[in-house]
Amino acid sequence: MKKRTIFFEDLGIKEYQETWKYQKKLFKDIIQKKINRVSCQKVGYLLFVEHPNVYTIGKNGKKNKHLLVPSDFLNKINATFYQTDRGGDITFHGPGQLIGYPILNMDYFFTDVHKYIRLLEEVIIHFLKFYGLEGVRKKGKTGVWMNNDIGKKSRKICAIGIRMSRWVTMHGFALNINTDLRYFDYIIPCGIHDQEVTSLRKELEKKEIPFEIVKNKVKKSFQDVFNVEFNHL
DSSP 217-231: HHHHHHHHHHTEEEE
Name the β-bridge partners of 175.
98, 158
Which one from 190, 197, 225, 228 is the annotated catalytic residue?
A: 190
Q: Rounded CA gap, 99 and 23, in Å?
A: 13
* pLDDT tens digits, 74-97: 999 999 999 999 988 899 999 999
Residue 61's pLDDT is 74
Residue 2's pLDDT is 79
* pLDDT tens digits, 108-149: 999 999 999 999 999 999 999 999 999 999 888 999 999 766
- 4-232: CATH topology: BirA Bifunctional Protein; domain 2 (3.30.930)
DSSP state of 205: T
With a cut of 60, say whether residue 154 has pLDDT above it. yes
- 158 an active-site residue? no
Task: Tell me the domain boundaries of the chain.
Answer: 4-232
Q: pTM above the 0.85 mark?
A: yes
Long-range contacts of 152-157 (CB under 8 A, 24+ apart): 153/194, 153/195, 153/196, 154/195, 154/196, 155/195, 155/196, 155/197, 155/198, 155/203, 156/189, 156/190, 156/192, 156/195, 156/196, 156/197, 156/198, 157/124, 157/128, 157/197, 157/198, 157/199, 157/200, 157/203
